[in-house]
Chain A
Amino acid sequence: MRLLIQMGIIDVSSSMDYSGATAVAEPPPRNRVLSTECDSGLAVEKNGHKNRRPVRRPGKEMCRTIVLDAATPDDHKELMRRIAAAQDKAAFAALFGHFGPRVKAYLMRSGSTPESAEELAQEAMVMVWRKAESFDPAQASVSTWIFTIARNKRIDAYRRMNRPDLDENDPALVPDGPTAPDTAYAEGQVSTAIREAVATLPDEQAEMLKKAFFEDKAHSEIAAETGLPLGTVKSRLRLAIGRMRKQLKEFEE
């Protein structure tokens, strides 16, 4: 399974050279089990495991993550919750194992050298730890939140500009109406719907979408590079977006 991450025992204090993409293995008989024991004394389990044993070992900072399959957006949210609530390093390690290598890949695709992609990906993941409390699971999925952090890091580093963004507390903000369909976000249905839509896009549209999102290029540059007319670039993107919007509408109704 694509997103399966299985981690062995991690010693937080010394040998943490977990590099993410290398540690993928066979699915365990019962994946979807998330069980960690940490120096914080926090022991957590899921899917009916009853062995909650808070363990304190002063002076020996061991952190054990036994099984982890952070495949679903809900699992990612659970990891974020633990990081925010208890500075849970095992949860962070799991999240890092999934997203660190993806953020690095994203940065390389947008033109970074492997070295600077590594550096920026690390910086982005530092932000994930530090800003964990500001993550709002009702607003977006974890992958979206991390995408925005990585994107803004890239803009800071390479475009040397600030990215103007809206301020949620702006007195000028025109608030959402009472009928705003925000239910779907809370339930993770938006990313599910978009995931399905992306998966069923014709190749040429999916490829254009990835180009538009990952390569730091204006639509006109994409046109020049691919030899396609600008109108074709734009229409493929519009078709892709239209399809996603259609998929979303089904959730909102």
Chain B
Amino acid sequence: MSVVSAREPVGPIPQHHLSDDLLTAYAAGSLDEASSLFVASHLTLCPECRRRAAMMDEVGGVLLDDIAPVAMSAGALSAVLSRAEAPANDEPASMAGSRQTVFGADLPAPMRRYYGCDLDGIAWQRQGGGVSVATVPGIGDGSHAFMLKVEAGRAVPQHTHRGNELVMVLKGAYSDAAGRFGRGDVELADGDVDHQPKAEKGEDCICLAVTDAPLKFTGSLGWLLNVFVKM
């Protein structure tokens, strides 16, 4: 029996997906917060990766079932039952700005929770060259994610990556040597790639980006852009 949502599809199905490495680490809970945000945002937009993620969780369940048990302390069950029946007051506090009524949304909910608003409420910092950025606030573990907005028809200045850079399109589309990337599409750029994504005409292209090392811009605007991606 297949569950068919009453909702109309709100967007195209992504063509470029998360890697198994990322999904495994997300299921295992060993991914940093910025990358976890990236994964959760893609899962919002991608039924196929939701199925893959469910499989990875199921792997965790099977391994848990299979692990050699370690006895709980004497009295553990009664302790748990008496705590379980006490009035619940230890639920984790929700994150600031997380409760909002949103009718239709551009940003996936995990991102709205961090920004406290949807795309129309974002305060962009202009960087010149048709590029603006908005850092994801409130990430607690020192990892870093930001949104990048490139004006319609413009190219991001040429840059190389010292670490890995994960990019996912949230609005609009861009193209580079690897193809076309639209809403929900993921691109992983590693240290060897020197690429120059170009936003499509007609609509600004907005992406979520996570880097594990600074980007290094190599083009003429590099000196300016290298300032804002210091992290």
Contact = CB atoms under 8 A, between A and B. Distances in A.
A173 B108 CA distance: 7
A166 B108 CA distance: 8
A103 to B, nearest CB: 7
Interface string B114-145: 10000000000000000000000001110000
Contact of B29 (A89, A151, A172, A182): A151
A68 interface: no
Interface residue SS majority, chain A: helix
A129 B29 contact: no
Contacts of B81: 12, 16, 89, 92, 129
Contact of B70 (A3, A104, A180, A218): A104
Interface in A103-122: 103-106, 108-109, 114, 117-118, 121-122
Interface in B12-65: 13, 20-21, 24-25, 27-30, 32-33, 36-37, 39-41, 43-47, 50-51, 54-65
State which size class the interface on A falls in: 35 or more
A210 interface: yes
B13 to A, nearest CB: 7
A232 interface: no
Contacts of B106: 172
B230 interface: no
Contact of B110 (A125, A164, A181, A244): A164
17 contacts: A19-B77, A101-B70, A108-B70, A129-B81, A142-B61, A143-B65, A159-B29, A173-B10, A174-B45, A181-B2, A209-B63, A212-B24, A212-B25, A214-B28, A217-B30, A238-B21, A241-B56
Interface of A: 3, 12, 16-22, 89, 92-93, 96-97, 99-106, 108-109, 114, 117-118, 121-122, 125-126, 129-130, 138-148, 150-152, 154-156, 159-167, 170-183, 185-186, 190-191, 194-195, 198, 209-210, 212-219, 234, 237-238, 241, 244-245, 248
